[in-house]
Amino acid sequence: MTSAAARRLPRIVHPVAWWIWAIGLAAAASRTTNPLLLVLVLAVAGVVVAARRTEAPWARAFKVYLLVGLVVIAFRVGFRVVLGGDLGADEHVLFTIPHVPLPGFMAGVQLGGAVSAENVVSASYDGLRLATLLCCIGAANTLANPKRALRVLPAALYELGVTITVAITVAPQLVESVQRVRRARKLRGDTARGRRAVRAIAMPVLHDALDRSFQLAAAMDSRGYGRSGAVPPRVRRLTVALLLAGLVGLCLGGYGLLDASTPWLLGVPTLTAGVALAAAGLILGGRRIRRSRYRPDPWAFPEWCTALCGVAAATAAVVAGARNASALNPSIFPLAWPTLPALPTAAILCALLPAWLTPPPPTAAPSSVRHDHPTRTPERAGAHA
């Protein structure tokens, strides 16, 4: 039995728990266009991220997701303004932009014309919903170390595992390569722009990336990644097929669950089938793959809480939608001020609990033993070329 004090010791929360929590929040957000609820979801995600993110580089990315969210809203509204369409009888015209006549074969598309308040509001609700979904996924990415999450991936998917690891390791290094090569270009006095400059930078960078990917894949292999032992190829192929089918089912089911307009068959049933297939593949694969975990992230009380809070938020949104859809989707025609329905609000606020119920993330080594090497000095940048 772990004492309450032991439970509060800083440690990493299981990445899967954060993903379930984030997908639950996203599922709740996808069921509503109520801006008050959506902003509430954003606020909850923001508070939890601020409270429980680590000091790792990827943990500073939440700001980027928020910015991308703003861009999404702007695009959504911008397009709706330009491609306004016909106005209903009692819509409120905000302003009118010049109407561009289009050739006959593009009938049905209208460019320019009057812009109504209803149109703008509906577009911004849609944009806000998309942005919120994006930020929920961003929150999961910020809270869970992508490489630790990858450890959950079964070793039966050997090639996929290598590919993803190489991609998430080498991609950030590409940025550094580009900086290095661009600086080196100056040494040659080449200030060319356009196509030739792209070639001059891309060629060395891509060569570099290819070399590194190859080296990393070779290193993973030399250290025993994907050891299979004596397994008949038939079993191996069956495992891979089951797992891939399971993953496809999981993706489709998740999509069906998030998008209320898809047939019900694409929702829970597909998700369940996906889970079943993936589980079968894991069991079959697990029989032969022998791997162990060094200091595995435990699945304990905080993980259950986190996952359950996410599931609760999603369930409440679905139930509330079935009982009273108008509260979740405030009226646009006629325009009405949105209200805050009690049940979904409580459920979303419940997703705030992990900010307190989970242990804090571990801090990096005390600064007294740190004799830092700047990661961006030319010497360090070149050291792994």
Binding site for other proteins (CB under 8 A): 56, 145, 147, 165, 169, 180-181, 183-191, 199-201, 203-204, 207, 212, 214-227, 290-296, 362, 364-365, 369-370, 372-380, 382-385
Q: Which is nearer to other proteins, 234 or 293 (CB)?
A: 293
Q: 263: cis peptide before it, omega within 30°?
A: no
- Shortest spacing between CB 156 and other proteins, in angstroms: 14
Cβ atoms within 10 Å, residue 238:
16
Q: Which is nearer to other proteins, 46 or 204 (CB)?
A: 204
Q: Which is nearer to other proteins, 223 or 234 (CB)?
A: 223
Q: Which is nearer to other proteins, 198 or 276 (CB)?
A: 198
| Contact between 26 and 136 (Cβ < 8 Å) | yes
- Shortest spacing between CB 204 and other proteins, in angstroms: 5
Is residue 165 helix, strand or coil?
A: helix
- CA separation, residue 112 to residues 121, 124, 213 (Å): 17, 18, 49
β-partners of residue 114 are 96
| Contact between 161 and 225 (Cβ < 8 Å) | yes
Alpha helices in the chain (DSSP H): 4-7, 15-30, 35-52, 62-82, 117-143, 146-150, 158-187, 195-222, 233-258, 268-288, 301-323, 325-328, 342-350, 354-357, 378-383
| Contact between 44 and 349 (Cβ < 8 Å) | yes
- Shortest spacing between CB 216 and other proteins, in angstroms: 6
Q: Which is nearer to other proteins, 290 or 323 (CB)?
A: 290
Is residue 224 helix, strand or coil?
A: coil
Q: Which is nearer to other proteins, 133 or 155 (CB)?
A: 155
- Shortest spacing between CB 178 and other proteins, in angstroms: 11
Q: How far apart are CA 122 and CA 120, in angstroms?
A: 6
Please give the angle made by the CA atoms of 40, 312 and 322, to the nearest 5 degrees.
Answer: 85
- Shortest spacing between CB 14 and other proteins, in angstroms: 16
Q: Which is nearer to other proteins, 6 or 192 (CB)?
A: 192
Q: Which is nearer to other proteins, 200 or 245 (CB)?
A: 200
- Shortest spacing between CB 158 and other proteins, in angstroms: 9
- Shortest spacing between CB 41 and other proteins, in angstroms: 30
- Shortest spacing between CB 214 and other proteins, in angstroms: 8
DSSP 63-109: HHHHHHHHHHHHHHHHHHHHT-----TTPPEEEEEEEEP--GGGTT-
